[in-house]
Amino acid sequence: MSLTATAHAIRGSLRQEVVIDGQHRLVTDEPLHLGGEGSGPAPHELLPAAIASCVSTSLVMYARTHAWDLGDVSVDVDFDNRSTPRRCEIAITLGTVLDAAQLQRLERVARACPVRRSLEAGVEFAETILCDPVATRPTVAESAP
């Protein structure tokens, strides 16, 4: 199974409209101090958001299949994108009291979230840049200073 995301630059800004699997849309932007408008999360902020939501969803799905009431579930991710290697601290808060065996099982479930597993396995990248052959190209007179 392949997942897709397509970003379209919004002209005149640093905003990107991102379409995920052809059905979901979101907008990213850069903060004001980097020349953006701050109208959405910066692209690198989506990684800790993906981890937090993946861990939370994994826990809720597991608890649902076992009829466990977790109460309110909150997952905080502190992602240090400047360290080498990158560091991610995950704090999970449950709005209930569980026994030690349940907590141990939920820790394993949290560690197995698909986003985390993807990052731990490593990712290979391959870029291709294409030019639209029908795009308007500047003439020599338009590009001259």
**pLDDT tens by residue, 29-66:** 999 999 999 999 999 999 999 999 999 999 999 999 99
**pLDDT tens by residue, 112-125:** 999 999 999 999 99
| C-alpha distances in Å from residue 114, one per residue of 53, 54, 110 | 11, 7, 9
Residue 29, classified by CB atoms within 10 Å of its CB into exposed (0-12), middle (13-18) or buried (19+), is buried
Q: List beta partners, residue 19.
A: 6, 25
